[in-house]
Amino acid sequence: MSTIVRFAPSPTGRIHIGNARTAILNWLMSRKEHGQFILRYDDTDVARSTQEFADGIATDIAWLGIVPDRVEWQSKRFGRYGEVVADMKAKGQLYPCYETADELERRRKRQEARGGLRTYDRAALKLTADERSALEAQGRKPHWRFKLDHRVIEWNDLIRGPQHTDLASQSDPVLVREDGSYLYTLPSVIDDIDFSITHVIRGEDHVTNAGVQVAITEALGGTPPIYAHHSLLVGTDGKGLSKRIGSLSIASMREQGLEPMAVVSHAALLGTSDNIHPCADIQELVDGFDLTKISRAPGRFDEKDLNQLNAKLLHMLPWDAVKHRLPEQTEAFWLAIRGNIEKFSETEFWDDVIQQDLKIDPAAEDVEFIAIARAALPPEPWDGTTWKTWTDALKASTDRKGKSLFMPLRMVLTGLDHGPELAALLPLIGRQKVLDRMGLV
RNA sequence: GCGCCCUUCGUCUAUCGGUUAGGACGACAGCCUUUCACGUUGUAAAGACGGGUUCGACUCCCGUAGGGCGCACCA
């Protein structure tokens, strides 16, 4: 049986680095096992789900290089869920409850105050047929709960090892709302069965759900998938990531000009026993992918680390990997400036430095020196040795050396006191521009 | 409150009872570059705390502290 995984966001917001990590882990798993990756929109909450968010999520994961083999929408499968619900009702697996959300809330508060369990007390199970029709006569509509067998569910989690949850400690999950709409749990289980999902890789906020989902899966005659629950990411303050989205969203990372492979590398390697390093090619991550390398402890996500990884990735990218993004440029340009950039967009800055019509007046004490240097400029053609030829000559003909020799040249040639090696920059600027920048003698 | 999980250099981690506790990122320093950066070489840097078990605990057990997650008619 081939591996089929799914990434199941609900389109009620954009994804951030934490969600993206889940998506990436699933993606790597599917590529490693030559299986399928299904993007499933969990949009059962029609009120909060929007097409815009769904499109945004598609854009985000596409930017990360994830290409779903299949896309599904739960909102298009309500008919199927209705069939299953009817069947479950017929089998007595579901029972109607008439408490309002407020009543349940108050009940929980009371239970909490007493320090006891907060689970649903199954009061509705004791309702007689007469009591039920009396409630319905008042206009009350039931919501439906799944009656949990009070047994212990055990499974082997690929990341956390042997797990068990005692269903007796859980409330019977509400599967169908009062208005007839479905809660996440049931559609998720039905889809996992219908789409033959083999592995469910998701955040550890779902571990308790797994026990209930196994129970429902079995009630529906299905085989539960293999689960792998990874720890969640926390911020530099050690607090959960979920609260603040902002700069942690994938959209903002794209806007900041980060390389998608830097984000993917960081998300895939953070919290694993592999060293965090930039991978230019997804295949390297696919080959090294192994769920057992993932730590159970929460991983700290630091934007600073991501930015550094981004710079490191850029520094190692060969010309072939970027030339399509720099159609007007040459390999010499890329090799000269790549070590000086942290974001790809900075290539424009260095291109300006090379191309601009610049005229920087040298400092008073350097005027004479610049004039001498201009006159000593070697003839073209220029190459990587021209800078040395030129400055060697100047060293011999003037009393300047070291910083006092090259800094006036750098300043007048680039207008900056820092930047790529002049040996590499000089041929890119070209003799005519160099003469122009050094002024007319 | 109850339940599950976690805790080794600043960060991500290796170690599966006996190690000079290893690596990577970062930091710092040297070299290179007649600058910065890149690159390169090197240095500093860790077992949360308290009890056990054991000839011997980072490693096993218990407790404490700290952190994450869960306990919805959210997903």
Per-residue pLDDT tens over the stretch A329-353:
999 999 999 999 999 999 999 999 9
Q: Which nucleotide is nearest to A188 (CA to C1')?
A: B75
In this complex, the answer to whether residue A112 has its CB under 7 A from any atom of chain B, a nucleic strand, is yes
**Residue (of A411, A380, A377, A413) closest to A394 by Cα position:** A377
> Is residue A360's pLDDT more than 90?
no
Q: What pLDDT does residue A243 have?
A: 56
Q: Residue range A37-53: average pLDDT?
A: 94
**Residue (of A420, A424, A255, A258) closest to A338 by Cα position:** A420
> Is residue A84's pLDDT more than 50?
yes
Q: What pLDDT does residue A441 have?
A: 45
> Is residue A274's pLDDT more than 50?
yes
- The gap between A238 CA and B49 C1' (Å) is 20
Q: Is the pTM of this model over 0.80?
A: yes
Computed over every residue of chain A, the mean pLDDT equals 92
Q: Enumerate the nucleotides of strand B whose atoms come under 7 Å of any protein CB.
A: 1-8, 11-14, 23-26, 33-39, 67-75
**Residues of chain A (76-95) having a beta carbon less than 7 angstroms from strand B:** none
In this complex, the answer to whether residue A162 has its CB under 7 A from any atom of chain B, a nucleic strand, is no
Using CA atoms, how far apart are residues A441 and A438, in angstroms rounded to an integer? 8
pLDDT tens digits, A203-252? 999 999 999 999 999 999 999 999 999 999 999 887 887 655 565 899 99
- The gap between A205 CA and B46 C1' (Å) is 30
- The answer to whether A42 and A74 are in contact (CB under 8 A) is yes
Q: What pLDDT does residue A146 have?
A: 97
Q: Which nucleotide is nearest to A275 (CA to C1')?
A: B24
In this complex, the answer to whether residue A424 has its CB under 7 A from any atom of chain B, a nucleic strand, is no
pLDDT tens digits, A183-198? 999 999 999 999 999 9
Burial of A109 (0-12, 13-18, 19+ CB in 10 A): exposed
In this complex, the answer to whether residue A428 has its CB under 7 A from any atom of chain B, a nucleic strand, is no
Q: Residue range A71-79: average pLDDT?
A: 96
Q: Residue range A378-397: average pLDDT?
A: 87
**Residues of chain A (314-343) having a beta carbon less than 7 angstroms from strand B:** 315-316, 339-340
Using CA atoms, how far apart are residues A424 and A350, in angstroms rounded to an integer? 12
In this complex, the answer to whether residue A273 has its CB under 7 A from any atom of chain B, a nucleic strand, is yes
In this complex, the answer to whether residue A155 has its CB under 7 A from any atom of chain B, a nucleic strand, is no
> Is residue A94's pLDDT more than 70?
yes
Q: A299 has which bridge partners?
A: A233
Per-residue pLDDT band for A138 (boundaries 50, 70, 90) equals very high
- The gap between A304 CA and B42 C1' (Å) is 25
What percent of chain A has pLDDT above 90? 75
In this complex, the answer to whether residue A227 has its CB under 7 A from any atom of chain B, a nucleic strand, is no
- The gap between A276 CA and B24 C1' (Å) is 7
Q: Residue range A417-436: average pLDDT?
A: 90
- The gap between A261 CA and B5 C1' (Å) is 30
Which DSSP symbol is given to A272?
A: B
In this complex, the answer to whether residue A111 has its CB under 7 A from any atom of chain B, a nucleic strand, is no
Q: Residue range A48-66: average pLDDT?
A: 96
In this complex, the answer to whether residue A297 has its CB under 7 A from any atom of chain B, a nucleic strand, is yes
Q: Which nucleotide is nearest to A309 (CA to C1')?
A: B25
CA distances from A77 to A8, A58, A185, A237 (A): 15, 20, 14, 41
In this complex, the answer to whether residue A360 has its CB under 7 A from any atom of chain B, a nucleic strand, is no
Please provide the DSSP assignment of A87-103 as one string: HHHHTT-EEEE---HHH
- The gap between A303 CA and B72 C1' (Å) is 33
In this complex, the answer to whether residue A42 has its CB under 7 A from any atom of chain B, a nucleic strand, is yes
Using CA atoms, how far apart are residues A287 and A32, in angstroms rounded to an integer? 7
